[in-house]
Amino acid sequence: MNKFEKSQTLLKELNGDGWLIVCNEGSDVNSRFLLGVESHARHYIYVAVNGEHRVLAVEMEAPMIEKSLKNNGVHAKVDSYNSLEDLKSKLSLIVNKKRIALNFGENIFSQKGTNYADFIHAGDYFSLIDLAPNTEFFSAAPIIYDLRCVKSQEDLKDLRNVCKATIEILESLPDIVKLGMTEREVKAEIEYRYMKLGRPSFPAIVGSGANAADPHHNTSTKKVEPGVLLVDTGLQIDQMCSDITWTFWLGNKPSDEFLKAYNALYESKEIANKYLINNIPNSIPAIKCREYLADEGYDHEKLFFHGFGHSLGFEAHDIGARISWKVSDDFILKENMVYTSEPGLYWEDKWGVRLEDDIVIGKEKCEKLTYNHKDPITI
């Protein structure tokens, strides 16, 4: 079953006539997910419950979309529009139905909210209400969740492949990184290798010294200095992403406090991994990890101020609740969900360390798609 066919089944259950995706300049990643190709200009994808799928795109991009859908075995009529007036009249014929799903979120300030489905822009939403005042628009959140959260066997195969390729590149870093290179140059070396295979799944974070204390550091022109070098990076080949953090030590002898923190994080992950299994609440692995770090003497609440992991797949931050000690007990891990496992310890303006792996939630045991070295790599 291709993605359009899966969506039809879900639409039937939701009693919907169709699912409309509105995308403009990459505003909705679900467009690329469905089309298999990136369309930049304003376009509309209509997945019809009766199989009469439609795409409206600019003339310049319609043939590219048509080819990609054909390659993916999807039968859809791809029309082009040559003015906004033309678009409006063609779209009007599509959206005047009884019930249409749209990518908007609900209850944004609640953990149970569906902000993972919140893509359509407010102005676009208003324009559709104007165009089809009698249509009932409902949130496509359940469709997006079902298509993307639990991974298919094909997704898992792709994930194994992309994780393996990323690890190979990370293993080559000791031969590439030299003192005096800038963080940005290290990033360029990594992503150059990615781009021959696919593309970065997000801009690599390369943090030297104090910059490693900033978990979402924007890679800078600072020269890499002796001491900690944190590299958080991921590759996307076709549809699936990796997301891995390794923390290196530049110089011969890592400091004792670095070694201690590295080892504590490594062990905390090993312990947490035992709980990355079917039917365990999302909070448990995070709690187990933090308990261990507390036992090792770390003030985890102060030093580890982010979640334990996030869902991974088509996006580096994919559909699915985080793994965090703050997530309520009714979020449950399911077999074949894929998560990052990424505890960290940070001393602001000094240094930080994070170890991040990608993990498939297993029935009785997780599957590690990536690894961190037990002892830190020195460069």
Structure-token match 């990424």, residue found: 342
Q: How far apart are CA 312 and CA 320, in angstroms?
A: 8
Nearer to a second copy, 27 or 72 (CB): 27
Distance in angstroms (rounded) separating the CA atoms of residues 24 and 252: 50
Indicate which single residue of 2, 3, 24, 97 sits in contact with a second copy (rule: CB under 8 A): 24
Stretch that binds a second copy, among 126-134, 239-247, 252-260, 335-343 (CB under 8 A): 126-134
Minimal distance, residue 24 CB to a second copy, in Å = 7
Q: Which residues contact 209 (CB under 8 A, 6 or more apart)?
A: 222, 225, 227, 228, 351
What sign results for the dihedral spanned by CA atoms 134, 139, 142, 143?
positive
HEC readout, 159-170? HHHHHHHHHHHH
User: Nearest approach, Cβ of 244 to a second copy (angstroms)?
Assistant: 17
Per the structure block, which two tokens stand in for 142?
A: 């359940």
How many residues comprise the chain? 379
Q: Contact between 230 and a second copy (CB under 8 A)?
A: no
Alpha carbon distances (Å) from 325 to 128, 255, 289, 299, 335: 40, 30, 9, 15, 20
113 or 251: whose CB is closer to a second copy? 113
Owner of token pair 């170890």: 355
Can residue 115 be called a binding residue for a second copy (CB under 8 A)?
A: yes
Structure tokens at 373: 């070295």
- Does 122 contact a second copy by CB under 8 A? yes
Q: Tell me if 306 contacts a second copy by CB under 8 A.
A: yes
Which residue shows structure tokens 């359009």?
4
Q: Tell me how far, at minimum, the Cβ of 127 lies from a second copy, in Å.
A: 4
Half-sphere exposure of 339 (CA within 13 A, CB side): 31
The binder of a second copy chosen from 10, 11, 47, 87 (CB under 8 A): 87
For 33, other C-beta atoms within 10 Å of its C-beta total: 17
Nearest CB to a second copy, comparing residues 48 and 117: 117
Q: Does 109 bind a second copy (CB under 8 A)?
A: yes
Given candidates 78, 102, 159, 323, which one binds a second copy under the rule CB under 8 A?
Answer: 102
Stretch that binds a second copy, among 120-128, 144-152, 285-293, 359-367 (CB under 8 A): 120-128
If binding means CB under 8 A, how many residues of this protein chain bind a second copy? Answer: 69
**Which of 44, 46, 119, 248: binder of a second copy (CB under 8 A)?**
119
Cα 306 to Cα 162: distance, rounded to the nearest angstrom: 25
Closest approach of Cβ 112 to a second copy, in Å? 10
Contact flag: residue 326 with a second copy (CB under 8 A) = yes
CB 369 within 8 A of CB 357: yes
In sequence order, the 6+-apart residues with CB closer than 8 A to the CB of 334 are: 149, 150, 278, 279, 361
Residue 4 or 81 with smaller CB distance to a second copy: 81
73 part of the interface to a second copy, by CB under 8 A: no
Q: Which residues bind a second copy (CB under 8 A)?
A: 24-25, 27, 37-42, 58-61, 63-64, 82-85, 87-88, 102, 104-111, 113-115, 117-127, 131, 139, 182, 184-185, 187-189, 191-192, 194-196, 199, 203, 214-218, 305-306, 317, 326, 348
